[in-house]
Amino acid sequence: MPLHPSDWRDWWGGMARHVGMLCLLVLSVVQVAYAGDMRLPQAAREQVGVTVTYDPAYRRLDYPGGDVDPSTGVCTDVVIRAFRVLGDDLQVRVHDDMRRHFDAYPKSWGLRSTDRNIDHRRVPNLQTFFTRHGKRLPITMDAEDYQPGDIVTWRLSNGLPHIGLVSDRRSREGVPLILHNIGAGTQEQDMLFAFEITGHYRYAPPAP
């Protein structure tokens, strides 16, 4: 039905209001998307009080879904277990990627083929995987750059590599806490800038 010129003004005014509301809605969605994945820190936090020791011993694992006893583990197990809660098995992901692209991964252990018992539990392998299949982010000293669910790697004072997940909680100074196992089980601590950061990653599991 044709509109009278005065009706056009009312129609355009209404459309402008709707478009403005839509833009605000889209902006809020974008802001939420960049706020980080809260599910990962929540999944990692469930390990606190459950994983109470650190044990780096080599273990034969089931495949897929292989894990050591939940009361123990290493730093990589915090990340692996958190992603499994979200339905993503890094044991399978890393093994499949290494099997297809073995030369892309570090040769620090003298291996000539994959080992699905340990490959996904090594920090350098996870760094390579997240670089290849996630997003490698700049390393900065700005706490705001580290979002919940981000993965961070460090070089400890003894030279060993370490890995943890950025929490959705912060210290009094506004620094994101880290969920990790550095020797006494899974803990949530203010240690983001305590050691040299060697990697900062954001990884979203692919849709099933």
Q: What is the pLDDT of residues 166-186, one digit of tens each?
A: 999 999 999 999 999 999 999
**CATH number of the CATH domain containing 174:** 3.90.1720.10
21 pLDDT higher than 60:
no
Residue 47 lies in a domain: yes
If one compares 11 and 50, the residue with the highest pLDDT of the two is: 50
157 pLDDT higher than 50:
yes
**Any residues with CB less than 8 A from the CB of 10 and at least 6 apart, and which?**
none
* Same-domain pairing of 73 and 18: no
* Same-domain pairing of 182 and 145: yes
Token pair belonging to 5 = 């010129």
DSSP letter at 55 equals -
Collapse the DSSP code of 171 into the 3-class scheme (helix H, G, I; strand E, B; otherwise coil) and give the result: coil
pLDDT band for position 129 (cuts 50, 70, 90): very high
Question: 196: part of which helix (H) or strand (E)?
Answer: strand 196-202
What is the structure's pLDDT at 162?
99
* Same-domain pairing of 41 and 27: no
Q: How many domains does the chain have?
A: 2
Residue 125 lies in a domain: yes
**Any residues with CB less than 8 A from the CB of 170 and at least 6 apart, and which?**
143, 176, 177
Residue 207 lies in a domain: no
3 pLDDT higher than 90:
no
* Same-domain pairing of 3 and 98: no
Residue 159 lies in a domain: yes
Domain that holds residue 116: 36-202
* Same-domain pairing of 29 and 40: no
Write the pLDDT tens digit of every residue in 92-106.
999 999 999 999 999
Residue 43 lies in a domain: yes
Rounded Cα distance between 149 and 131, Å, is 15
* Same-domain pairing of 62 and 11: no
Length of the chain: 208
* Same-domain pairing of 112 and 173: yes
* Same-domain pairing of 127 and 47: yes
| Least confident piece of the model among 21-25, 28-32, 79-83, 183-187 | 28-32
Residue 208 lies in a domain: no
pLDDT band for position 25 (cuts 50, 70, 90): very low
The predicted model gives 200-205 an average pLDDT of 95
Question: Please, what is the average pLDDT of the chain?
Answer: 88
* Same-domain pairing of 2 and 98: no
* Same-domain pairing of 4 and 68: no
* Same-domain pairing of 101 and 131: yes
* Same-domain pairing of 8 and 102: no
Tally of CB atoms within 10 A around 68: 16
User: What DSSP letter does each residue of 95-161 carry, written as one string?
Assistant: HHHHHH-GGGS--TT--SS--TTTGGGSHHHHHHHHHHHSEE----S-GGG--TT-EEEEE-TTS-E
The pTM of this model reads: 0.83
42 pLDDT higher than 80:
yes
What is the structure's pLDDT at 11?
42
Determine contact, residues 41/165, Cβ cutoff 8 Å.
yes
